[in-house]
Amino acid sequence: MEDIQPVVLTLKIIAVFGAIVTMVYGLSRVFERLKAKEQGFGPNSLKAIGVVLFVPTLLILAIVTDFKTETLAALLGTVAGYVLSNARFNDD
C-alpha cells in the first residue's frame, strides 16, 4: 500500500500538466482561427476562450482538491448552460 501514493501523485502531476498543455493548445487554436478569419473578439470567440480556459481549470481543480460529485456536476452544468445559451437582446 505504501507504493501506491507515489504512483497516484505522479498521475496527478501528469494529468495537471496535460490539462495545462490542452489549455495552451486550445488558446493557440482559437487565436489562429481568429487570425485566419481576420476577425476580432466577439461573443462567440469569447465563449470559445472561456470554455478553453474553464474546462481544463475545472479538471485541475477536480484532480488537486477533493471535490464532491455534486460540486463537479454543478460546475459542468454551468459550463454546458453557458456554451449552449443563445441569449439575444432586442432593441425594440
pTM given for the model: 0.71
Helices (H), the chain: 4-36, 43-64, 69-84
Check the CA dihedral 92-86-51-73 and report its sign. positive
7: confidence class by pLDDT, cuts 50, 70, 90: confident
Domain map (residue ranges) of the chain: 8-84
More confident call, 69 vs 19: 19
Q: Percentage of the chain with pLDDT > 70?
A: 88
Nearest-angstrom CA–CA distance, 15 and 12: 5
Task: Supply 18's cell numbers.
Answer: 496535460
Q: How far is it, in rounded angstroms, from Cα 13 to Cα 24?
A: 17
pLDDT at 3: 66
Give me 50's grid cell: 472561456
How high is the pLDDT of residue 17?
Answer: 93
